[in-house]
Structure 1
């Protein structure tokens, strides 16, 4: 026996009470974790029409980050890694707006803007993609694509028109009560297009926009996220692993896990570089290494914390190795580890620093003593009386010390291993104006001391001409 597709609408609100009492959200997760008896009961209670409706009840199947947040918002940003299910979330949100629970005035219908970087990307991803609007729509509510007019038309009269970031002016004139914006962070004319869209969102009682994007450090995305009318959901690629090829996950994790690019593209984290930063995400990523050379020296940089407890600054502990044989122009360094600790007692950070030395075979501990003076050396020698320490005093400001080290990076002389995310975040907030992050850049200070010891001071001695006796 067959059931007409239009019967699905009447069954969406008439599913078995065993799970509707719990709410639609995460229904599939609940059923998947339930006992076999409960699963069998659930399936046996479904009528044929209900079985046909079930695949299209997105609240039942969706992951948490794919469902719009509750409350008053104008913009919902779905921020996630590659393959995290962002496109599906946007397509289903459009479907919910079009099929809508809110009644419209007689003769009115929804007007939706579909905005992507190019027409091809809107058509092939947002409209016809595997997770696009047409693929997500039930047979009785599937829209028709009118190629000549670049729009989708639903059986109930709703219309979604295509617009692109290459033509912001195309958003002048039309008006909408909803918009789906895809990959905002990669648009070259993002701010201009976004601004024009805001002027066009003027229909209905509560015009809203859904933004689905992998994060990038661009001004338009940062402004949208900072708006008080914006709410955000977030998920890494791994959250949608059940719907991704295992070989894809293995490959991208092997290549990019533990890198800043991986944090952006897989973890969906917005990595912010301060304007005029001494280091940039792109440059750090370009200098990533996997194979390590044979080092001539390895040192640990230490920037002790002035206090203890959860509210105290971190104690920066950074391990760096260097190859310094041959001409100075051939010298290279690799940042090997960030062993920074927070809230540790003096004995605690001293043990952590010495443990880092032992683990990486470092020959010296370079410790700033401005805050603790002789106490720093005394604390370290209580842990290991024979530890080789070089005490350094900061006679210059943090920026002045960091600038020659940043120059080494610009020359391609310093590389990073994977997994230095927090250190690199601090580095990308160091500017000529100072540190533009929260707290103190203790990890950067430790890095700077280590590279001064390995590269800058020895190079200065190497270049200094010998004094000839008369």
Structure 2
């Protein structure tokens, strides 16, 4: 064996760089051909007939149903099919849009269900023009995010494409802008079109897509995802059985307004602000995770402000309005949460970090003062039930005195899906603390003026 290996090493060492590159390309092609025929799709991963003339193929599915896998497979098949424009090298120029560009790299290209999993010939290249997934033929897919204003500007100048893949569309901070700007560049070839994959969430843009005649929707359920380990499927189903989470996260159902919820999707959309006005006060509100369960509990971190201008609300009362500026919540160690809140405090020139300390949140102040003693920090303690605290904030939204700037998808999902009596999620709690501090607490300016 050693002799054979040594002989192979010697032959490789004697090859020129061009010969080595050609050998690598041939090996990748053989691996791709071997893998290609072994993929067994779920029914919902099979693209609809005549997809090119439909406009959109939208995969809605629960966790583990292979949404990314199906879209990656389709893009590879598209690249190896007829050229959309024979004048282009490789015949195809495509785009992949994900919540962030990093998500596009990790999930859509490098991940086990990404492009490389279906076609090992794909390489990832970053140039002055952006980050691209490229094939030996010269076909390419440019990677975009849809999170920040800069992402939107990159999409605006993203170039023309023959196919756009939108990954986890419902989780995109700027989904509407992503659709608008990518649509304007979708004009290469006779039938440019979209493919999209997402766990459904009550986003207005997603709901509107499902109602369009040029969109074909396929749906997959976690309980039917036989390639997912059986034990994992069983645990997920048992944990969420009979809940809205089961319908959305496991069954892939798009839930719209939920009976009993304090906030509505239409209400949030009707008061949405395109940009933040000048602020008189800004706070960063923190609601600590109730437990150390990394699977379910998040640290709620919400940035909100009180506008300087007095504007009529729904009742005609002149008042300062509240604005949701950012949602930095997530699952993270305490030290990371404190650093994230401090960074937001300085970036937004906030007046204070406000933290709830009922559920073991006393650590927040200690950590914040250790990292940055200049931060103005104060605590709040819940003396009333969650419903009693949330109702006045929901009333402010009904009075059209509170606005979300742009889109905060995860927060909005919690607002429109929480029903009093359920455990309230951490983003929602932080939102309530922020607006209470700005508009309802004694220090807040809630009183009407002449």
Provide TM-score, normalisation by structure 2: 0.49
Provide TM-score, normalisation by structure 1: 0.47
Query: Which of these two proteins has the greater Rg computed from alpha carbons?
Result: 1
